[in-house]
Amino acid sequence: MSELPRGSTIRKDAGMYGYERALRRHGIEPIAGVDEAGRGACAGPLVAGAAILPPGKAGIVPGLADSKLLTEKARERCYEQVVRRASAWSVVVVSHEECDRLGMHVANVEALRRAVALLELPPAYVLTDGFPVDGLGVPGLAMWKGDRVAACIAAASVLAKVTRDRIMTDLDAQWPAYDFKTHKGYITDVHTAALAEHGPSPIHRMRFVNVRRAAGLEVAAGIESPL
């Protein structure tokens, strides 16, 4: 789950599409990228995206980059391009209740698996961001900062990030005191102050230490940190 096919070489100047081109030279296709958004947030759902970009010019997404490095408007533009150009794409939303029940790492892996399984075009190979994901049914490669070096992972990152941001903006209308539309449930000074003043909302993740403290609950061993 951590090696390219033997004989594959990636030039340093190959760009974001280099890994996919190298795999195609070995006859490996389709190639999916998968990534998540919201793992580090202490409120709202976890969202995973998966994308298969076609070869050649049809699969080149203008302005594509790691979703975290793009402005909101640029992400929205990339999102529309990914949806239009992708051979297949999917998005999976894992509720805050399921994140609490499973724990964040297990929920994250499960979300990535579901996103790949939902692709209408089954991939022959999967590129993942940061760590390997077993149970995908096909070989793959875990890539350090994958959303910055592999186009299909960056595309999946954009799908996940834009979807989650839209959800959190909608949730802000229900719980405006927390300003979810601005920080999307991540721990900022504004969010920390809102938690201290109002306590957790119904969409906060109770496994997180800061949320439990805001709720006045005892911090137990094994409770996850938001960092």
> Residues 6 or more apart from 150 whose CB is under 8 A from it?
16, 19, 20, 33, 127, 143
Name the stretches of the chain with pLDDT < 70.
1-14, 218-227
Contacts with 74 (C-beta within 8 Å, 6 or more apart), sequence order: 63
Both tokens of 1, joined, read 């789950």
Strand ranges across the sheet with 125-129? 88-94, 46-52, 31-37, 125-129, 140-143
pLDDT for res 198: 96
The Cα 157–Cα 169 span in angstroms is 18
Check residue 114 and give its pLDDT: 98
Number of Cβ atoms within 10 Å of the Cβ of 110? 19
Look at residue 67 in the predicted model and tell me its pLDDT: 87
Taking the C-alpha atoms of residue 42 and residue 207, their distance in angstroms, rounded to an integer, is 8
pLDDT in tens, 53-67: 999 999 999 999 888
Residue 54, preceding peptide bond in cis (omega within 30° of 0): no
Rg (CA), the chain: 18
Render pLDDT for 143-188 as a digit per residue (tens, 0 to 9): 988 889 999 999 999 999 999 999 999 999 999 999 999 999 999 9
Residue 68 is predicted with a pLDDT of 86
pLDDT for 47: 98
Within 10 Å of residue 225's Cβ, how many Cβ atoms?
A: 12
pLDDT at 46: 98
The pLDDT value recorded for residue 71 is: 92
What does the alpha-carbon distance between residue 49 and residue 5 come to, in Å, rounded to a whole number?
25
- Give the total residue count for the chain: 227
Provide the pLDDT for residue 207: 93
